[in-house]
Amino acid sequence: MKFKLAFAGPALTGIAAACLFVTAGTALSPASVAQDANADARTLRPAASFQSIANEQERSVALFTEAGKVIQHPRCVNCHPATDRPLQGASMHPHQPPVFRGDGGMGLPGMQCTTCHSAENIPVVGQADTVKSIPGNPAWHLAPIEMAWEGKTLGQICQQIKDPARNGDMTMDELVEHMAHDELVGWGWNPGAGREPVPGTQAEFGELIRAWVDTGAACPAS
């Protein structure tokens, strides 16, 4: 192209200029803005980057809002259902086959989580593109009903996870530890083939929660 342009007349140069214009226009198109938004949905801002918010309470809310990209992701909410039935998939539909909470959130007698789920994600072969693996983790189970997140706003979830009666009687330090290191929480970043992981890394998520607690654990208004 450059070689041709070097020997081209004004007409071809004009076309090239038009191409450059179109290219520049593409960079600012709604589609690329959407791509940026998608990339933003897959990553977490570092906790340190929130230092630019001078007001501590506003910073705390902003930190939790960023962590909310993980907390409200289907990978997390699907096993924090508001009923006794887990949800499934990116569309968060009721789990198929129909399974229910049971003792300890591990299913009913004869149809427990471990009837199908293993200690690790199990790839399947020879299936439709929409089914690539069966998710699994050694601790696979539903969150207790008092920890239900389904249908709640981020502000409601925020208040809930600070409440010992609804967070498994955890102190804030224990909550940070749970978010930052719990193995089943960590599954969200390693959900197996065919499933979108939650944004960022568990370490980044843990740092956001730590910083949120350190700034007073303020909650979004809604």
Partner 1 sequence: MVTFTLNGQERTFDGDPDTPLLWVVRDFEKLTGTKYGCGVAQCGACTVHLDGMPRRSCITPISMVEGSEVVTIEGVSGKEADAVKTAWAGLDVPQCGYCQSGQVMSAVALLQMVPKPTDADIDGAMAGNICRCATYHRIRAAIHNAASSMEG
Which residues contact partner 1 by CB under 8 A? 96-100, 102, 108-112, 114-116, 118-119, 122-124, 126-127, 131, 134
Give the residue with the Cβ less far from partner 1, 10 or 109: 109
Beta carbon of residue 108, minimum distance to partner 1 (angstroms, whole number): 4
Q: How far apart are CA 57 and CA 29, in angstroms?
A: 35
Give the residue with the Cβ less far from partner 1, 107 or 199: 107
Which string of DSSP letters, residue by residue, matches 34-93? HHHHHHHHHS---GGGGGG--SHHHHHHHHHHHHHHHHTSHHHHTTS-SSSS-EETTTTE
Give the residue with the Cβ less far from partner 1, 118 or 159: 118
Closest CA to 176 of 61, 67, 53, 55: 67
Beta carbon of residue 145, minimum distance to partner 1 (angstroms, whole number): 17
Give the residue with the Cβ less far from partner 1, 192 or 200: 192
Beta carbon of residue 86, minimum distance to partner 1 (angstroms, whole number): 13
Beta carbon of residue 106, minimum distance to partner 1 (angstroms, whole number): 11
78: which residues sit within 8 A by CB, 6+ positions away?
86, 87, 88, 89, 92, 95
